[in-house]
Amino acid sequence: MDLSFTPEQEAFRAEVREFLNDKLPKRLSGKVRQGKRLTKQDYEEWHAILNDRGWLGVTWPTEHGGPGWDVVQRHIFEEETTAAHAPRVVPFGLAMLGPVLMTFGSDEQKAHYLPRILNGEDWWCQGYSEPGAGSDLANVQTTAVRDGDHYVVNGQKTWTTLGQHANMIFCLVRTSKEGKKQEGISFLLIDMNTPGIEVRPIVLIDGEPEVNEVWFSDVRVPVANLVGEENKGWTYAKYLLTHERTNIAGVGFARAGLASLKRIAGEQQQDGRPLIENPFFAAKVAQVEIDLMAMATTNLRTLAAAAAGQAPGAESSMLKVKGTVIRQQINALARQAVGPYAQPFASESLDEGANAEPVGPDYALPATQAYFNNRKLSIYGGSNEVQRQIIAKAILEL
Amino acid sequence: MDFRLTEERQMLQDALRRFLADTVTPEGIVEATGTATGFAPALWEQLTELGLPGAMFTEEQGGFGGAGFDLMVVFEELGRAGLSVPLVETVLSGALLDAAGMPVDDLAGGQILALAHTEPAARYDLNRVDTRAERTAEGWRVIGQKAVVHHAPAAKAILLTARTSGAADAEEGISLFLVTPADVTLRDYPLQGGGRAAELTIDATLPESALIGPAGTAFDALQTAHARATAALCAEALGMMETVKTLTVDYLRQRRQFGQPIGKFQALQHRMADVLIEIEQARSAVINLCGNLDGPDRDLHVSATKNLIGRTARLVVEEAIQMHGGIGMTMEYALGHFAKRLTMVDHRFGDTDYHLERFIRQAKSRAS
């Protein structure tokens, strides 16, 4: 048992810090810290900076242009980038599709798509969920029917995050109605510019069009865009989900959120004293901080097990539940800390260079927005109830 | 970063788990609580031979462990068994004697010393000492009362704190004395969680030599002793949680209602999943404390961990009883003993709220 990092790991941390100090544009970190809207160009700018250093595909092996980091290095990188208020790396191509292609894609697919993910030529989005397939992901109704060298795709995907920026989408489609619902699913790569695709934004409760509906009407997709084998898509989909869950605990986000909460509660005054010194409020903050301290170690224990070769299995379900609940508690406390200025909804001030001054303190609207937006955490990626089900079955064997 | 046990600790854990599984039963623990010492003296001798007190101390002190993770390994196993033996007292006494420059090799060899510090009006405040000691021509005149002195009935000698100067809540002025059972009056009783303790009254003149270390300076050592003992108690609580979890999962698989095992009901599956998640959090909290026991943030982690353990213990106990139903209410089934013993963890060395408040103070002083 040893909670400390090795000198090599500490040196790596210093290297990451120096890089962030030199290369992370203050304009971007300022926007993240202030909760401003990030544009497509903001994300692309940060991706390009990371890619220049070879640090974009953090989970990727060196042969595909990744840094070849172990899990501890990835953890340190995540800690440092979130602490520095770097924009998040958009995960769909890098963290989700990339590993699937490396494992199940053809040589042609790897050679074509992987470099384009890194250099930003392709912006991927995820076509998993459907109106009738939320946590019951295998209930895919979107069909793909073979017609010569093409599949003809019809159906609807939803909750497609940042789909408005994407030129490519990876989709689960039904190629067979035989057998169990998991058995007739295939994994297709689809160009968003193909005729018959329509994208409609969905405005969420924070007022932001973060997700979309994507409609497919007789969309012709070359057979060469099938990943792996027809009707084996569920295997690849599950593989992708294990990668989706590697950073599921969100410790870095939680720490950044806690620091922001303490800043807000330090500035807000109640009865002539900072709110953070109010014993009732301080107790709530302290309790979630204590939970986070334990959570960080639970996360490290899982990482250490993964480093020792144990695949992240149902343990990631525990991290998902606890990690998301902690982040939501922090968001709720920050919203509470803001006080009456949680009410104004003048969201034009969230745009960079907006002429509109924020109403009330500049942290008020972002804190409230984060609260509403992060209600998604316990729903997406397999709702927390689905995660409890996985725990009950896979760990408790009930 | 490494979460594996060293080979030595792994061997100790394996040996201890085997021995306790073969030797200890909840019924035996409850039965021993009714005897004069509150535990089986022969069992303590066997545990001493296995090296339990020795694992509490470093090699220089005459032991073979002494680090936070040594405490964790040993106490988690004692917790799994639900056993009450005076090993927390060894940790407390060892830290106090060591701080006073006294040898601890007798403790490493199994000597039992109780600590009489907490008082009826002190609740969990370590600085609150009303018991007074005055230097007279005959020696130290000591008058006062001590509350819930664990294992006092079994101890050959007792470490006792008394105030030699200052106000009742001053950190300065607390002194440590070594007294014999003949110097004090004990009213002994069984404890809810097994084992025995006593209310202690002292109105005696002690020899000059009864003073341990310089007069009036025991507070720092008391803090260190309680930090180590809290780590031990939290690890013990973790072991108890593991046993309660096993008992409950087994019950969910076996107990049938409405034609199927109750573990098939989603309402219970989700409750049990939450219990499991929180026990993993408890394990992380114990690791955090044991890994920081000799570090600068020790007291921050003491309070963070004791708070989290207190909350988790309550959840685990209440959920386990509820999911067991009627059988969870009886002492005819193993859960009863563990439920009570685990509940009592929050009543020693500061409870959930006490440590939440202390955590806030610690975090604030660290930040400034």
CATH number, residue A355: 1.20.140.10
Distance from CA of B289 to the nearest CA of A (A): 10
Does residue A305 share a domain with residue A194?
A: no
Q: Residue B33 corresponds to which tokens in the numbers above?
A: 């609580």
State residue B77's pLDDT score. Answer: 98
What is residue A307's predicted lDDT score, i.e. its pLDDT?
75
Q: Please write the tens of the pLDDT for every residue from B133-148.
A: 999 999 999 999 999 9
Vertex B225, ends B222 and B230: CA angle to 5°? 120
Q: How many CB pairs lie under 8 A apart between chains A and B?
A: 123
**H helices present in chain B, as ranges:** 7-23, 26-33, 41-50, 52-55, 68-81, 87-99, 105-108, 219-254, 266-291, 298-324, 334-344, 352-367
Is pLDDT at B320 greater than 70 in this prediction? yes
Q: Residue B285's closest chain A neighbor by CA?
A: A294
Contact, A117 vs A61, CB < 8 A? no
- Dmax over Cα atoms in chain A, in whole Å? 75
Same domain, yes or no: A202 and A147? yes
Residue appearing with tokens 């990631």: A316
Task: Look at residues A89, A108, A142 and tell me which one is the last residue of a structural domain.
Answer: A89
Residue of B272, B276, B308 with shortest CB distance to A291: B308
Half-sphere exposure (Cβ direction) of B207: Cα atoms closer than 13 Å: 5
**Residues with Cβ within 8 Å of residue B242, at least 6 apart in sequence:** B76, B79, B80, B279
CATH number, domain of A218, equals: 2.40.110.10
A72: which chain B residues are within 8 Å (Cβ-Cβ)?
Answer: 1
Same domain, A260 and A377: yes
| Mutate which: B277, B283, B298, B358, vs A, most A CBs within 10 A | B277
Q: Do A318 and B276 touch (CB under 8 A)?
A: yes
At residue B100, the 3 state secondary structure works out as coil
Return the structure tokens found at B335: 């859960």
Q: Contact B277/A391, CB-based, under 8 Å?
A: yes
Active-site residue among A78, A80, A130, A244? Answer: A244
- Please indicate whether, in this complex, the C-beta atoms of A301 and B3 are within 8 angstroms of each other: yes
Q: Which of B284, B294, B299, B302 to mutate to test the interface with A (most CBs of A within 10 A)?
A: B284
Domain stops at, among A89, A112, A145: A89
Query: Which residues from chain A sit within 8 angstroms of residue B357, using beta carbons?
Result: 279, 283
Q: What is the pLDDT of residue A244?
A: 64
Q: HSE on the CB side for B198, CA within 13 Å?
A: 21
Query: Distance from A204 to chain B by nearest Cα, in Å?
Result: 28
Comparing CA positions, the residue from A371, A317, A385 lying closest to residue A136 is A385
B:174-233 residues touching chain A, CB 8 A cutoff = none
* Contact at CB, B287 and A301, closer than 8 angstroms: yes
* Tens digit of each residue's pLDDT (9 = 90 or more) over A30-74: 999 998 999 999 999 999 999 999 999 998 999 999 999 988 899
Report yes or no: A261 at the B interface, CB cutoff 8 Å: no
Whether residue B88 has pLDDT greater than 90: yes
pLDDT at A135: 80
Query: Which pTM was predicted?
Result: 0.95
Helix extents (H) in B6-60: 7-23, 26-33, 41-50, 52-55
Let me know: does A185 contact A237? Beta carbons within 8 Å: yes
**Number of neighbouring beta carbons within 10 Å of residue A179:** 9
Do β-strands A185-191 and A197-202 pair in parallel, antiparallel, or remain unpaired?
A: unpaired
Q: Does A1 touch chain B (CB under 8 A)?
A: yes
Q: Can you give the pLDDT at residue A243?
A: 67
Which of A282, A304, A392 lies nearest to residue B360, judging by beta carbons? A282
- For the record, the structure tokens of A277 come out as 């010194």
When divided into structural domains, chain A yields a total of: 3
A337-393 per-position pLDDT tens digit: 999 999 999 988 888 877 788 899 999 999 999 999 999 999 998 899 999 999 999
Query: What tokens does B145 get?
Result: 């009362």
Tell whether A166 and A279 lie within a shared domain: no
Residue A240 lies in a domain: no
Is B288's CB within 8 Å of A293's CB?
yes
State the ipTM, two decimals.
0.95
From chain B, the residues in CB contact with A394 under 8 A are: none
- The span from the CA of A265 to the CA of A278, in Å, is 9
How much is the pLDDT for A247? 74
Window 52-81 of B, Cβ < 8 Å to A? 69, 72
pLDDT of residue B277: 97
**Three-class SS state of A188:** strand
Q: Compute the distance between CA of residue B179 and CA of residue B206 in angstroms, rounded to an integer.
A: 8
* Residues on chain B touching A279 (C-beta within 8 angstroms): 357
Secondary structure (3-state) at A200: strand
Tell me the two tokens of residue A341.
């200025």
* Pair (A76, A129) in one structural domain: no
Strand B157-163, strand B113-116: pairing: parallel
- Reported as a single tens digit per residue, the pLDDT across A271-309 is 999 999 999 999 999 999 999 999 999 999 988 887 777
From chain A, the residues in CB contact with B252 under 8 A are 396, 398
What confidence score (pLDDT) does residue B368 get? 76
CA–CA separation, A226 and A156 (whole Å): 18
Q: Are the C-beta atoms of A215 and A197 separated by less than 8 Å? A: yes
- Considering the domain architecture, whether residues A336 and A212 belong to the same structural domain is answered as no
CB contact under 8 Å between B307 and A3, yes or no, is no
Question: CA of A313, closest CA in chain B: separation in Å?
Answer: 14
- What local confidence, expressed as pLDDT, does residue A25 receive? 98
Distance from CA of A284 to the nearest CA of B (A): 9
By the CB < 8 Å criterion, does A300 face chain B? Answer: yes
Judge if A310 and A364 occupy the same domain.
Answer: yes
Q: Which chain A residues touch B277 with a CB distance below 8 Å?
A: 318, 321-322, 391
- Within-domain flag for A347: yes
Contact check, Cβ <8 Å, A318/B277: yes
Which of A135, A293, A315 should we substitute to test contact with B (largest number of B Cβ atoms within 10 Å)? A293
Number of H helices, E strands in chain A: 13, 10
Residue A123: partners with Cβ closer than 8 Å, 6 or more residues away: A40, A90, A92, A93, A162, A165, A166, A167, A168
Query: Does residue A74 share a domain with residue A16?
Result: yes
* A377 and A289 together in one domain: yes
Q: For residues B117-126, give the mean pLDDT.
A: 97
pLDDT score of A349: 83
Q: Is B277 helix (H, G, I), strand (E, B) or coil?
A: helix
Handedness of CA B205, B207, B209, B215 (dihedral sign): positive
Any domain includes A138? yes
Nearest to A249, CA basis, from A303, A211, A305, A304? A303
Query: Does some domain include residue A211?
Result: yes
Is A116 inside a domain boundary?
A: no
Cβ of residue B18 closer than 8 Å to a chain A Cβ: no
Alpha-carbon distance B281 to nearest alpha carbon in chain A (angstroms) = 6
Min Cα separation A17/chain B (Å): 20
Whether A389 and B290 lie within 8 Å, measured CB to CB: no
Is the confidence at residue A87, as pLDDT, over 90? Answer: yes
Mean pLDDT of B56-76: 97
**Least CA distance to B10: which residue of chain A?**
A1
| Helix H or strand E segment including A71 | helix A71-83
Q: How far apart are CA A341 and CA A264, in angstroms?
A: 12
Q: Is A171 inside any structural domain?
A: yes
Q: Are the beta carbons of B272 and A289 separated by less than 8 Å?
A: no
Residue of A nearest to B6 (CA): A1
Summarised one tens digit per residue, pLDDT across range A120-156 is 999 999 999 999 888 888 999 999 999 999 999 999 9
pLDDT in tens, A333-349: 999 999 999 999 998 88
Of A89, A111, A143, the domain-final residue: A89
- Confidence class of residue A311 from pLDDT cuts 50, 70 and 90? low
Residue B263 and residue B255: Cα distance in Å, rounded? Answer: 8
Distance from CA of A343 to the nearest CA of B (A): 30
d(CA B155, CA A271): 53
Chain B environment of A287 (Cβ under 8 Å): 307, 356
Answer yes or no: are the C-beta atoms of B227 and B299 closer than 8 Å: yes
Q: How far is CA B255 from CA A398, B26, B264, in A?
A: 12, 21, 10
Q: Which residues on B lie below 8 Å from A300 (Cβ)?
A: 1, 3
Long-range contacts of A304-307 (CB under 8 A, 24+ apart): A304/A71, A304/A72, A304/B1, A304/B2, A304/B3, A305/B3, A306/A71, A306/A246, A307/A70, A307/A71, A307/A72
| Closest approach of A282 to chain B, Cα-based (Å) | 7
On whether the CB atoms of residues A170 and A196 are closer than 8 A, the answer is: no
Least confident of A4-8, A168-172, B183-187: A4-8
The C-alpha of A323 sits at a distance from chain B's nearest C-alpha, in angstroms, of 11
Task: Report pLDDT for A248.
Answer: 81
Question: Is A183 exposed, middle or buried, given 0-12, 13-18 or 19+ CB atoms closer than 10 A?
Answer: middle
A183 catalytically annotated? no
DSSP state of B217: B
The average pLDDT across B243-257 equals: 98
**Residue A236: closest CA among A389, A126, A119, A124:** A126
Residues A257 and A190 in one domain: no
- Could you give all domains of chain B from N- to C-terminal order, each with its CATH number? 7-110 (1.10.540.10), 114-216 (2.40.110.10), 220-367 (1.20.140.10)
CA distance B237 to B286: 10
User: Is any Cβ of chain A less than 8 angstroms from the Cβ of B362?
Assistant: no
Q: Can you read off the two tokens belonging to residue A324?
A: 């998301």
Give the residue from A3, A8, A378 with the most B CB atoms within 10 Å of its CB, the best one to mutate.
Answer: A3
CB contact under 8 A, A389 and B357: no
For residue B102, give both structure tokens: 């006294």
| Backbone angles phi and psi of B139, in degrees to 5 | 140, -145
A172-226, pLDDT tens digit by residue? 999 999 999 999 999 999 999 999 999 999 999 999 999 999 999 999 999 999 9
B1 touches chain A (CB under 8 A): yes
The Cα-based distances of A298 to A3, A189, A388, B247 in angstroms read: 12, 36, 17, 23
Does A245 score more than 70 pLDDT? no
Characterize the bridge pairing of strands B260-261 and B256-257: antiparallel
Q: Which domain holds residue A191?
A: 123-230
Q: B157-163 and B174-179 as β-strands: parallel, antiparallel, unpaired?
A: antiparallel
The rounded distance, in Å, linking the Cα atoms of B322 and B204 is 50
Asked if A328 and A378 touch (Cβ cutoff 8 Å), the reply is yes
Average pLDDT over residues B291-306: 97
The H-assigned helical ranges of B51-153 are 52-55, 68-81, 87-99, 105-108
Nearest to B223 by CA among B298, B164, B304: B298
Q: Looking at the predicted structure, is the pLDDT value of residue A97 above 80? A: yes
B252/A4 CB distance under 8 A? no
Residue A280 touches partner B, C-beta closer than 8 Å: no
Q: Check whether residue A371 and residue A268 sit in a common domain.
A: yes
Say how many residues make up chain A: 398
| φ and ψ of A136, to 5 deg | -90, 70
DSSP codes joined into one string, A156-167: EE---TTGGG-S
Q: In this complex, do A389 and B266 lie within 8 Å of one another by their Cβ atoms?
A: yes
Tell me which residue in B69, B301, B359 faces A1 most closely, judged by beta carbons: B69
Q: Could you tell me which chain A residue has the CA closest to the CA of B360?
A: A286
Same domain, A251 and A386: yes
Confidence of residue A2 (pLDDT cuts 50, 70, 90): confident
